[in-house]
């Protein structure tokens, strides 16, 4: 792409302006919305830098999920912050400036941006991932190969982190009483008829799209993490428009709790299965001796499914915990 | 033409960002952020063609979806009361 | 130097804006928003290290020869999802602090603590 | 082939005109309801024309289908979001500034 740099610089300008505005603005609802916009612009940069899978995730998680959680929190707490006194801002600014100067001084040792001969690109692992994975794993999306197979151990850890965080949030905010739908919610229902009809049309489409993302992750951008968040955001949209009660009817917390654990169990179970089959932990070649490519396909499919289930259930649980807190009070 | 389109979209994004920063009401900001989101959808679509690899349009679809969900969430959580409680009117001013 | 490094510098500047917000603001939600900005800036730095000028997205296709490095993408992809999990935990703690102290302002909460005497 | 490319360029150019008009309106118009009007120009005419322009450049079916899906999705969500937003603003007591016999600031 010949026009890489002008586009890059324009997006950077948007990011810097947004970040400065976030630092300055004291209306926290506006700050949360701007942080969503920041994530969206950042996802554009990721696309520009060829990280399509990351852009996918950042858009769904950073711009969608995080913003919704911030808004839920603000609805539960104060939406304005007090002005920052100089005794706080001056030392902080000094520390940030010093750290920034040190970082920029250190950046002189970083390789040239986007060059083909950087240590990153010259590392033997690059060849392994970009050339040999086509025969070793047999799927076109290298990010999925690395995520689910080469670094499957690491991804298991990440899945457990999400599981743990969901459990911790449930311990802090969960166990809320089921409240009756009050008048304010009803007014949203009767007055926003267009919104209701369109949402009803869209939600099934979003859920099917999430399944497509889940199972198309081998061939294009997508996979369990992204699909899980998209699936959850479909149901969150449903809950936002039709009320929490309706969302709980579709996905009761009791079921979600089991699903969060089930996803991790599927992932770990695949590892145990490979051990039983005589391979190393999470070495999918052992799943189908003689046909490593088939084994890899099966292993990645199951592992991604586990990730998808855990992420979808955890995200929904987070949303229901935060949104349900208001009902309980 | 694709390049011109991309640059025009970036300019439009900057204008929308300007409105999001200026406010003055919360609704102006929501409108501007929503409009910014639509422009990023178009940006992803056009830049895929510009880079000569337009196979990743799924991302643009996700952007459109997230944009809609986000707007509904902001509307619901700032305006219509927070899942059952009465709306808090003091949250409606949007000054800096 | 500018042409070859500005990408890193912007990431670093964004990081510092995030750091400034985390350190200077007393409001806990605002701190988390700042942390989010910091986090996304780190993601950008990682991704820009994997970029190749002549490369394309690391999804193999016989029509392309050069690809950007997939490893940073994998690390950051999982980091994003873990990031939302930790942010959610921080927000949950904020909600509980607000319920206990009636404020999300760090200074006010500490003031209330010291007004009630040292905690046992 | 060339004719198709020219047609695509024309559609893209027209779309860009609408996108920029809408963005300028969003930035410059005096109050919320007029800005809603400007924003919906970007969302409907702008997005539609740009995506149609891209559709003429598509080489395989899958990409074309995705473009159509995006178009369909935007055609559903953008007007809905605008309508819900304007309605909420009205419910909230925000009123259009423009009245008969009175010029907006």
What is the ipTM score, two decimals?
Answer: 0.90
Q: Which two tokens stand for residue A42?
A: 């950042």
A267 burial class (0-12, 13-18, 19+ CB within 10 angstroms)?
Answer: buried
Residue pLDDT, tens place only, B63-95: 999 999 999 888 888 754 433 333 333 333 333
Residues on chain B touching A185 (C-beta within 8 angstroms):
80-81, 83-84
C64 and B53: CB-CB below 8 Å? yes
d(CA B50, CA A145): 27
The answer to whether A89 and A23 have CB atoms below 8 angstroms apart is no
- The helix (run of H) or strand (run of E) holding residue B47 is helix B26-50
Residues 6 or more apart in contact with residue D26 via CB below 8 angstroms: B15, B16, B19, B31, B32, B35, D35, D38, D39, D42
Residue-by-residue DSSP string for A155-179? HHHHHHHHHHHHHHHHHHH-----P
- The helix (run of H) or strand (run of E) holding residue D16 is helix D2-28
pLDDT at A182: 47
Closest to A43 in 3D by CA, of C43, C15, C4, C32: C43
pLDDT at D102: 52
Taking CB atoms and an 8 Å cut-off, how many pairs form between chains A and D? Answer: 18
CA dihedral C48→C53→C59→C65, nearest 10 degrees, is -150
pLDDT at A212: 92
pLDDT at B9: 92
Question: What range does the domain containing B11 cover?
Answer: 2-82
d(CA B80, CA C42): 36
Does any CB of chain B come closer than 8 Å to the CB of residue D13?
yes
Poorest-pLDDT segment among A30-34, A155-159, A242-246, A269-273? A242-246
Residues 6 or more apart in contact with residue D103 via CB below 8 angstroms: none
Mean pLDDT over A192-205 rounds to 88
Q: Which two tokens stand for residue C79?
A: 């980091």
B12 and D23: CB-CB below 8 Å? yes
Residue pLDDT, tens place only, C91-100: 999 999 998 8
Q: Name the most confidently modeled range: A19-23, A119-123, A146-150, D92-96.
A: A19-23
D43 and B38: CB-CB below 8 Å? yes
Give the residue, A231 or A76, on which the prediction is more confident.
A231
Half-sphere exposure of D17 (CA within 13 A, CB side): 7
Nearest to C23 among A96, A151, A158 (CB): A96
Percentage of chain A exceeding pLDDT 70: 93
The answer to whether A230 and A211 have CB atoms below 8 angstroms apart is no
pLDDT at A187: 47
Q: Is A27 helix (H, G, I), strand (E, B) or coil?
A: strand
Residue pLDDT, tens place only, B22-57: 878 888 999 999 999 999 999 999 988 888 888 788
Is position B73 within any domain? yes
- DSSP secondary structure letter of residue B29: H
Chain A contact probe: residue of D68, D71, D84 with most A CBs at under 10 A: D84
Peptide bond into B24 cis (omega under 30): yes
pLDDT at A67: 92
d(CA C66, CA C53): 9
Q: How many distinct structural domains can be found in chain B?
A: 1
d(CA A195, CA A228): 24
d(CA B26, CA B41): 23
A195 and D76: CB-CB below 8 Å? no
pLDDT at C117: 67
Sole residue written with tokens 């730095």: C45
A61 and C81: CB-CB below 8 Å? yes
* 158-197 of A, contacting B, C-beta below 8 A: 179-182, 184-185, 187-188, 195
Instruction: Tell me how far CA of residue A303 lies from CA of A206, B43, C89, D73, in angstroms.
Output: 22, 33, 25, 31
d(CA A172, CA D42): 43
* Beta bridge partner(s), residue D8: none
**Is the pLDDT at A181 greater than 50, yes or no?**
no
Chain A residues with at least one Cβ partner in D under 8 Å = 191-192, 194-195, 198, 201-202, 205
Nearest to D47 among B5, B13, B38 (CB): B38
pLDDT at B87: 32
Instruction: Tell me how far CA of residue D35 lies from CA of A153, B30, B69, D21, D99, in angstroms.
Output: 51, 11, 21, 11, 16
pLDDT at A266: 94
Nearest chain B residue to D23 by CA: give it.
B12
pLDDT at A231: 94
Q: How confident is the model at residue A190 (pLDDT cuts 50, 70, 90)?
A: low
Q: Judge D/C contact: 3 or more CB pairs < 8 A.
A: no
Q: How confident is the model at residue A148 (pLDDT cuts 50, 70, 90)?
A: confident
**pTM score:** 0.90
C63 burial class (0-12, 13-18, 19+ CB within 10 angstroms)?
Answer: exposed
Is position B94 within any domain? no
pLDDT at C21: 93
d(CA B78, CA B33): 15
pLDDT at A328: 52
Does any CB of chain D come closer than 8 Å to the CB of residue B44?
no
B51 and C64: CB-CB below 8 Å? no
The gap from C-alpha B62 to its chain's centroid, in whole angstroms, comes to 13
Residues on chain C touching B52 (C-beta within 8 angstroms):
56
Can you list the domains of chain C with their CATH numbers? 3-116 (1.10.287.3510)
Arithmetic mean of pLDDT over chain A: 86
d(CA D51, CA D39): 17
**Is the pLDDT at A161 greater than 90, yes or no?**
yes
Residue pLDDT, tens place only, A109-120: 888 888 888 888
Residues 6 or more apart in contact with residue A17 via CB below 8 angstroms: B17, B21
Q: Which residues of chain D have pLDDT under 50?
A: none
Q: How confident is the model at residue A175 (pLDDT cuts 50, 70, 90)?
A: low
- The helix (run of H) or strand (run of E) holding residue C77 is helix C70-101
Closest to A205 in 3D by CA, of A183, A252, A237: A237
Q: Which residues of chain C have pLDDT under 70?
A: 117-120
Sign, CA dihedral B31-B35-B36-B37, equals positive
Q: Which two tokens stand for residue D87?
A: 């309605």
- DSSP secondary structure letter of residue C1: -
């Amino acid at each position: 792409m010949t026009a890489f740099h002008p586009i890059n610089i324009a997006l950077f300008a948007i990011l810097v302006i947004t970040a400065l505005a976030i630092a300055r603005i004291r209306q926290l609802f506006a700050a949360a919305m701007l942080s969503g916009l920041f994530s969206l612009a950042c996802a554009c940069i990721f696309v520009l830098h060829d990280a399509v899978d990351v852009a996918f995730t950042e858009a769904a998680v950073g711009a969608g999920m995080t913003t919704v959680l911030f808004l839920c929190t603000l609805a539960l707490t104060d939406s304005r912050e007090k002005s920052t006194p100089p005794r706080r801002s001056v030392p902080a600014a000094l520390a940030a400036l010093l750290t920034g100067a040190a970082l920029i001084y250190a950046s002189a040792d970083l390789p040239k941006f986007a060059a083909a001969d950087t240590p990153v690109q010259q590392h033997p692992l690059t060849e392994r991932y970009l050339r040999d994975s086509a025969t070793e794993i047999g799927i076109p999306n290298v990010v999925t190969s690395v995520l689910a197979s080469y670094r499957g151990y690491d991804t298991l850890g990440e899945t457990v982190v999400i599981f743990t965080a969901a459990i911790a949030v449930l311990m802090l905010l969960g166990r809320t009483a089921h409240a009756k739908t009050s008048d304010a919610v009803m007014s949203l229902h009767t007055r926003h008829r267009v919104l209701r009809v369109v949402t009803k049309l869209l939600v099934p489409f979003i859920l099917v799209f999430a399944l497509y993302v889940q199972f198309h992750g081998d061939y294009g951008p997508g996979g369990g993490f992204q699909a899980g968040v998209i699936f959850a955001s479909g149901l969150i949209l449903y809950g936002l428009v039709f009320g929490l009660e309706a969302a709980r009817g579709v996905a009761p917390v009791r079921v979600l709790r089991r699903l969060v654990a089930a996803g991790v169990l599927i992932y770990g179970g695949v590892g145990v299965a490979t051990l039983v089959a005589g391979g190393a932990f999470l070495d999918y070649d052992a799943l189908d001796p003689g046909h490593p490519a088939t084994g890899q396909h099966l292993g990645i499919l199951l592992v991604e499914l586990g990730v998808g289930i855990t992420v979808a259930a955890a995200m929904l649980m987070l949303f229901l915990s935060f949104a349900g807190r208001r009902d309980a009070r | 033409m694709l390049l011109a389109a991309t640059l025009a979209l970036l300019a439009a994004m900057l204008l929308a960002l300007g409105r999001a920063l200026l406010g003055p009401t919360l609704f102006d900001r929501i409108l501007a952020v929503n409009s910014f989101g639509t422009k990023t959808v178009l940006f992803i679509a056009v830049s895929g063609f510009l880079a000569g690899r337009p196979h990743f349009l799924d991302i643009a679809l996700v952007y459109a979806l997230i944009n809609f969900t986000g707007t509904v969430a902001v509307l619901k959580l700032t305006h219509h009361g927070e899942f059952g409680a009465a709306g808090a009117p003091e949250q409606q001013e949007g000054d800096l | 130097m500018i042409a070859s490094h500005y990408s890193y510098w912007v990431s670093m500047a964004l990081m510092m804006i995030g750091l400034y917000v985390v350190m200077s603001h007393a409001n806990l939600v605002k701190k988390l928003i700042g942390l989010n900005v910091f986090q996304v800036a780190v993601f950008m730095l990682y991704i820009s290290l994997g970029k190749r000028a002549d490369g394309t997205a690391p999804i193999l296709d016989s029509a392309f020869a050069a690809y950007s490095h997939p490893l940073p993408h994998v690390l950051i992809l999982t980091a994003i999802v873990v990031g939302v999990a930790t942010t959610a935990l921080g927000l949950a703690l904020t909600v509980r602090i607000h319920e206990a102290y009636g404020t999300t302002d760090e200074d006010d909460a500490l003031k209330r603590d010291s007004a009630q005497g040292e905690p046992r | 082939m060339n004719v198709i490319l020219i047609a695509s360029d024309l559609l893209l150019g027209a779309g860009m005109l609408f996108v920029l008009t809408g963005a300028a309106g969003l930035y410059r118009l005096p109050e919320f309801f007029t800005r809603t009007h400007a924003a919906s120009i970007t969302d409907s005419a702008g997005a539609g024309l740009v995506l149609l322009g891209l559709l003429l450049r598509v080489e395989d079916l899958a990409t074309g289908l995705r473009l159509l899906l995006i178009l369909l999705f935007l055609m559903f969500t953008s007007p809905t979001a605008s309508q819900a937003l304007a309605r909420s603003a009205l419910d909230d007591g925000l009123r259009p500034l423009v009245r008969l016999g009175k010029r907006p600031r």
